[in-house]
Amino acid sequence: MRQDEHLGQLARFGARDTDGSVGITEFQVGQQFQDKDEALLSVKTYSIRRGVQYKVVESDYRRYVGKCSEFGNGCTWLIRLSLRQRKGIWEVKRYNGSHTCLATSISSDHRSLDYHVIATFIMPMVRADASVNIKVLLNATAAHFCFRPTYRRVWMAKQKAVAIIYGDWDESYNELPRWVLGVQLTMPGTVAVLRTCPVRVGGQVDESQAYFHRMFWTFPPCIEAFRHCKPLVGIDGTHLYGKYGGTLLVTIAQDGNSNVLPVAFALVEGENAESWSFFLSHLRQHVTPQPGLLVISDRHNGIKAALDAPDGGWLPPSAYRAFCIRHVAANFALTFKGKDARRLLVNAAYAKTEVEFDYWFDILRSEDPAMCDWANRIEYSLWTQYCDEGWRFGHMTTNISECVNSILKGVRNLPVCSLVKATYGRLAELFVRKGREAEA
């Protein structure tokens, strides 16, 4: 979503004067708020929009008092709010306003513009698009409040907004096993393999607690669909952008009509030999038992170790390996700068005949023989189309970016349970849509 579209969603934030100004309306004795959080948000917003500072004199479960930071030095601004216990609402009991001091904030930031205020402000934007960029949120916040918070504070605000919309980040780990069990009961054949780590306290294992470690999952329609797809898969990992990070591993298949379909997932701590072995072993067991399968991936050492394991089921003739040319070209570009060199390597990789390959490779050699030396260190069958013996079916990449953009957009920003739920919901929508297209 464009930044101007985000800015268009801000109309409902804060109280308004008759001229449409946000957060400048003076408080009134008897003014009521749904709860303390709403009351404090209004006080902070007022302070920010006025460009003044205030200090909290008293704050507990039934009373809140704030004074201007210049109180006693010529300004008498004061607000007292109390809880009306019978109604459970907060009410302005006393108000000395407005400020008689000049704006005291000369900084580009404002201490009242904390992540709680920002979270409330950006909520509509995050609800519309959980993947919205932090810089977009920061710029929108600065444009609205006329103060510029730090990147870190906006990041924290986004995590809070996501938690309010999609569930608490920590509780999401506890909810995940319950939700998965519910899906397995209602959709037999759903595969979910959860691994945890023990919690150690003072060198002793606490049996009552465990840490989330990894989880593999897939759904019956994905398993069935793969039987009708080309005998190849792309595997890749993509970073998670939530509070606790991690990596989402994805297996991507493609049918005869070039439709991209994720067929298996795993949440892991990162890309390493152990996490890839966990993912690939369950992929082989539950989704892709077919012999003669091609696996397209990047050149990550963890993937190589997992595929080369003698008991993994991924060695020829059971399975074959090829490299994603997008990753190969990216690695190539780290050593040899310039778009032309990268383009020549990609053209050589896509060549369908040896003659065509030699044509592009000779041009590459004329540019710099070291480029060909670099490429020659990789076995041709792993990165060129003309040497793949037909295993690729013309597919040269993992399709991870296409998959994320078309099906998994935004899920990397969600708490773990909401992420897994999103894969379920997005795939259900995809299968329904493709089924209708097939019947049309």
Is 249 a residue whose pLDDT tops 80? yes
Q: What is the average pLDDT value for the chain, to the nearest integer? A: 89
Q: What is the pLDDT of residues 345-371, one digit of tens each?
A: 999 999 999 999 999 999 999 999 999
Tokens of 280: 């690939």
Domain ranges of the chain: 3-165, 172-324+397-429
Give DSSP secondary structure letters for 258-279. Answer: --EEEEEEEEESSSSHHHHHHH
Q: What is the pLDDT of residues 375-387, one digit of tens each?
A: 999 999 999 999 9
Q: Are residues 41 and 120 in contact, defined by beta-carbon separation less than 8 angstroms?
A: yes
| pTM for this entry | 0.84
What pLDDT is recorded for position 106? 56
C-alpha distance from residue 127 to each of 113, 122, 166 (Å): 21, 9, 9
Cα–Cα dist 213/196, whole Å: 5
Is 165 a residue whose pLDDT tops 60? yes
Short-list 366, 222, 237, CA closest to 287: 222
Q: What is the pLDDT of residues 123-139, one digit of tens each?
A: 999 999 999 999 999 99
Percent of the chain with pLDDT over 70: 93
Asked if the bond preceding 317 is cis, omega within 30° of 0, the reply is yes
Cα–Cα dist 125/90, whole Å: 28
Is 3 a residue whose pLDDT tops 80? no
* Out of 10-14, 90-94, 201-205, 311-315, least confident range: 10-14
What pLDDT is recorded for position 105? 54
Enclosing H/E stretch for 296: strand 293-297
What pLDDT is recorded for position 413? 92
Which carries the bigger pLDDT value, residue 74 or residue 270? 270
The SS3 call for residue 386 is coil
CB burial readout 358-377, b (16+ within 10 A) else e: eebbeebbeeeeebbebbee
What pLDDT is recorded for position 7? 37
CATH class of the domain at 172-324+397-429: alpha beta
